[in-house]
Amino acid sequence: MNTTGETSLSPAQLDQLSINTIRFLSIDAVQKANSGHPGLPLGAAPMAYVLWTRFLQHNPTNPHWFNRDRFVLSAGHGSMLLYSLLYLTGYDLPLDQIKQFRQWGSVTPGHPERGLTPGVETTTGPLGQGFGNGVGMAIAEAYLAARYNRPGFDVMHHFTYGLVSDGDLMEGVASESASLAGHLKLGKLIYLYDDNRITLAASTQLTFTEDRAQRFAAYGWHTQSIEDGNDVEAIDRAIRAAQQETDRPSLILVRMHIGYGSPHKQDTFAAHGSPLGEEEVNLTKQNLGWPVEPPFLVPDAVEQHCRQVVHRGQLAEAEWNEKFSAYEQQYPEQARDLRLLIAGELPPGWDANIPQLPADAKGLATRVASGTIMETISRTVPGLIGGSADLNPSTYTELHDAGSFENSTRAVGDLQGSAVGGWSYAGRNLQFGVREHAMGAILNGLATHGGTTPFGATFLTFSDYMRPPIRLAALMGIQVVYIFTHDSLALGEDGPTHQSVEQVASLRAIPQLMVIRPGDANETAVLGGWQSKRGTGRWP
């Protein structure tokens, strides 16, 4: 195949040339680093290419444009796939950084890190976490759209996409998150599943043989299967069908081949987590009609083609800005509030009514005081949204009169402790169910999306169930508020399973996580307001 761009290429040839450019940028970088995961980029390049160049609404010159589509690489070990896409579509990620993949001081680390690489939405790597993050992002979009959109003014309207792997779907946090997403009918959530049936150590035949399509259909998801993962037009049709499915999240099962094109390592676990080796890299290039030299080749035709995304993204953002200006003229109050949320700023006087609580000889329970403070803050801070792992009556975290976030078409009965403000996507009480791990990952997605200040509550001892996303939130430096009640040996009658002896020390061991243990009701009031004002969960 011609790789110079000097002759005219058909659309199909240009697609294939672009896909192979993604593949070989990725494996050249892995080989140069002598570490990394070449298998996923080789296999998943076609579906990622179709999504990023035909569907993803984004502006590479402004990665923070608020109404962009979100993309989560939940299979974070395949980071070179994402870096190749970012480079080719015009983000501020020079080719020199691709060549420094996994090296100290580069912005192309082994797993994607939010805040380091332009265009990376969330830190992924621990499998399943990105899956839950995407659910949180879709909730954030649905909440902001329900609260602020008006007829003729869909100022919040975007999709959340993700690329998930066998390993992601094996993790319990993905199961918890998928169950809740299906229940909530998050129709703007679309995941591409790299169904390559190989993990780091073996074939999935050893451990993972359920029918994944039926499993997700049972969760309430719309599912499609593509048997040939190299069929770009089939992938195109499937994504279009998923976009039209407004009442269910979508999982597109794409049958891929890990290490595609490698003569000796395709469809084997040897392609998962180790470089192919120089000889196998050369054989793979020859097998797919790619020049062996030079490495890191980007044909002119591919660069020109992929960089068209920049113009389309700038145009889309300009159109959105124009729409928002018109929206601001007709709905100035809503526009003002939304601008504050987008900027992560608090409205003037938000803390004016935080009460001074009376002294109490018995000592007012800090969880009761916390509930009072949250109620007060929620009346002036519309971005405050969250809930508990089915423990609202015990943690006092229900925001009364704020409604519950729920698909309004679902028939629901009366729930103990439920908000009285009705059921819709504009509700601010999230009903997580008994899903602490998913709650943590979803809160991270809400925070990374922006426009919300998410909180989650459970008993302190069950912080162990959500420790992985807490650690990731601290690594990213995002603002997530955790409310842990029922502290220590005071839970005498519940026995040692509920007596949180070591949890505070464990949480304090997490770098950049701020742990505050108020001693009375007024400390709770002061610290609750201070934490909201700070706007971050990190130490200075």
- The catalytic residue positions are 436
Q: From CA 26, how far away is CA 98, in angstroms rounded?
A: 8
Residue 510 token pair: 């997490």
The owner of tokens 């299906």 is: 182
> Quick check: 483 and 455 in contact, CB under 8 A?
yes
Instruction: State the burial class of residue 154 (Cβ atoms within 10 Å of its Cβ: 0-12, 13-18, 19+).
Output: middle
Q: From CA 52, how far away is CA 57, in angstroms rounded?
A: 8
Q: From CA 84, how far away is CA 22, in angstroms rounded?
A: 6
> Quick check: 252 and 190 in contact, CB under 8 A?
yes
Q: Hey, CA dihedral for 39, 44, 48, 49, is it positive or negative?
A: positive
The owner of tokens 């672009």 is: 18
> Quick check: 67 and 141 in contact, CB under 8 A?
no
Closest CA to 337 of 478, 138, 188, 149: 149
Q: ω into residue 299 within 30 of 0, thus cis? A: no
Other CB atoms closer than 10 Å to residue 474's CB: what's the count? 19
